[in-house]
Amino acid sequence: MTDLDPRPAPEAAAPTPSPRALARRRRRRALGRFARSYARNRAGMTGLISLLLIATAALTAPLFVDQAHLTVTGAPGQSYAPPSPEYPLGTDNFGRSVLDLIIWGARVSLVVGLLATVVSVSLGTLIGVTAGHFGTSGGLGGRITSTVLMRITDWFLVLPTLVLAVALAAVLPGGTGTVIAAIGLTVWPPTARLVRAQTLAVEARPYVERARALGGSHAHVMLWHVLPNVMPVVLAQTTLLVATSIIAESTLAFLGMGDPTTISWGGILEAARTAGAVSAGIWWYMIPPGLAIAVVALSFTLCGRALESVINPRLRENS
């Protein structure tokens, strides 16, 4: 083409994005759709905002709660002082602020609930994926492994969770770690059954069959094809299990199975019962920690139900 040619020069073609760039773009779009769908769920947003406020109060508790005032010898108030501007939720039998106890106790209750959920979900996901995968593609040995794992799961399902947790907490050495282990090792069976069902559905998809035909090992199929596709269900189950774990921790602490050296919501209720606050009508020592447990459990449940409705198209259509 000469300088006298009136035709415009052709524009350079846009560079073709790499597969990784395309994958990142798809993930960003999927995350954006997920966030928009979740934001339209009013109940889920209510639970999320409530959890953010409670978590902020728990994380910033050392900034406005004097830890010395939480000890028996350093309590600044009078015994069983009713709610007042100085003590909005009154004081306990030692003169400690009940509001400060609840804010500080949120740290232990939330941490124990979250860690126990991590233990439970990890164990349930491992057993569920293993049982589902080997039940369809492991031959005779795989089917035997799957059957044994699911019979163990069924055995744990028929046992009362609270009774088993109390038994473990009584046998193991006392402490926060024992409470986490007792809860995490008793509430995993529903997760295992749910993940196994999802694994069976994923194993029937064509790309998993192609991965097997190309020589993919069991570990490759489970880690790269099955696990990423069951994670949305695991995420929703995790959110729901946190509420169960927090209630279980509070129950164990109320029964005297918790760590007596730490402050938790269940421990506050147990201390109120031991001090005779129920018979004395000291309502500000009993009701606020119970309400805190109920609000956190309800908030996690609302978030979990919202996640289920976003992840499951059938639930989203019904809502």
How many domains are there within the chain?
1
Q: Which of 133, 135, 173, 128 is nearest to 152 (CA)?
A: 128
The per-residue pLDDT for 141 is: 79
Is the residue at 19 inside a domain? no
First-to-final CA distance of the chain: 63
Point out which residues pair with 91 in neighbouring strands: 97
The per-residue pLDDT for 192 is: 93
**Residue 55 DSSP SS3:** helix
The per-residue pLDDT for 98 is: 92
Q: Say if residue 218's pLDDT is above 60.
A: yes
Is the residue at 1 inside a domain? no
| CATH code, 200 | 1.10.3720.10
Is the residue at 13 inside a domain? no
Average pLDDT over residues 279-301: 91
Average pLDDT over residues 36-51: 91
Q: Say if residue 9's pLDDT is above 60.
A: no
CA–CA distance, 302 with 289 (Å, rounded to integer): 20
Q: Which of 37, 16, 28, 99 is nearest to 306 (CA)?
A: 37
Is the residue at 74 inside a domain? yes
Is the residue at 255 inside a domain? yes
Q: Which of 257, 236, 253 is nearest to 292 (CA)?
A: 253
DSSP for 108-170 reads HHHHHHHHHHHHHHHHHHHHHHHHHHHHHHSHHHHHHHHHHHHHHHHHHHHS-HHHHHHHHHH
Q: Say if residue 152's pLDDT is above 80.
A: yes
Is the residue at 20 inside a domain? no
Average pLDDT over residues 147-159: 90
Is the residue at 146 inside a domain? yes
Average pLDDT over residues 89-115: 91
Confidence of residue 293 (pLDDT cuts 50, 70, 90): very high
Average pLDDT over residues 252-267: 86
Is the residue at 285 inside a domain? yes
Q: Which of 65-74, 104-113, 215-224 has the highest mean pLDDT?
A: 104-113
User: Which range of residues forms the domain containing residue 255?
Assistant: 42-318
